């Protein structure tokens, strides 16, 4: 991890905390420092986890597209934890990790289809203030993803926007999950 968090880490305790630590160790090999930071307010931590878990059950958007979208949003915001964690999760879920690796440089990479590029463009446009989502891009994605797919894309990016901005503001950084499982380092884009 580079840098330190801006809020001290709290001991994850209690029955729920014990179960949570076991689950995190099983899934990630340890308890992320970011989880300990968020544990300063367990209700926010738990509610964020619930939303994240529920978003994993949504099925209208191709899993690779969803992963590329949230990683593009994380790269645009500058959340190294989110990028690393989603690259690690792409590997664990059997998604296209070669493409996931290229997301930080999606504009320069020739690895992506037109649809994948449009999805990442939409994700980045949603992260800008003010939003830069255009009618043309929305129409193009609506035609390819359908209404439910576009709503799911927007919801996944919105949740990532919240998570990534919170992590950056609190000083939560990458914990090198991708390195730990032997993945190639994430590509570096000109805007990251």
Q: What is the pLDDT of residues 8-28, one digit of tens each?
A: 999 999 999 999 999 999 988
Question: Which residues touch 112 (CB under 8 Å, ≥6 apart)?
Answer: 68, 99, 102, 106, 120
On average, the pLDDT of the chain sits at: 94
Report the alpha-carbon distance of residue 117 to residue 106 in Å, rounded: 7
In the chain the domains, ranked by start, together with CATH numbers, are 14-180 (1.20.1290.10)
Is the pTM of the predicted complex or chain greater than 0.75? yes
Q: What is the pLDDT of residues 68-90, one digit of tens each?
A: 999 999 999 999 999 999 999 99
């Amino acid at each position: 991890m580079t840098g330190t968090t801006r809020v001290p880490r709290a001991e994850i305790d209690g029955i729920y905390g014990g179960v949570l630590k076991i689950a995190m160790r099983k899934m990630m090999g340890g308890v992320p420092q970011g989880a300990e930071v968020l544990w300063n307010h367990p209700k926010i931590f738990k509610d964020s986890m619930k939303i994240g878990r529920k978003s994993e059950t949504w099925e209208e958007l191709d899993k690779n597209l969803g992963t590329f979208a949230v990683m593009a949003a994380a790269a645009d915001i500058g959340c190294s934890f989110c990028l690393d964690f989603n690259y690690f999760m792409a590997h664990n879920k059997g998604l296209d990790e070669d493409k996931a690796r290229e997301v930080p440089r999606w504009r320069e990479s020739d690895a992506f289809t037109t649809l994948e590029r449009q999805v990442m463009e939409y994700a980045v446009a949603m992260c800008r203030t003010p939003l830069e989502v255009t009618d043309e891009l929305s129409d193009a994605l609506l035609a390819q993803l359908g209404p439910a797919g576009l709503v799911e894309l927007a919801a996944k990016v919105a949740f990532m926007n919240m998570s990534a901005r919170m992590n950056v503001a609190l000083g939560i950084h990458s914990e090198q999950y991708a390195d730990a499982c032997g993945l190639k380092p994430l590509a570096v884009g000109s805007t990251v």
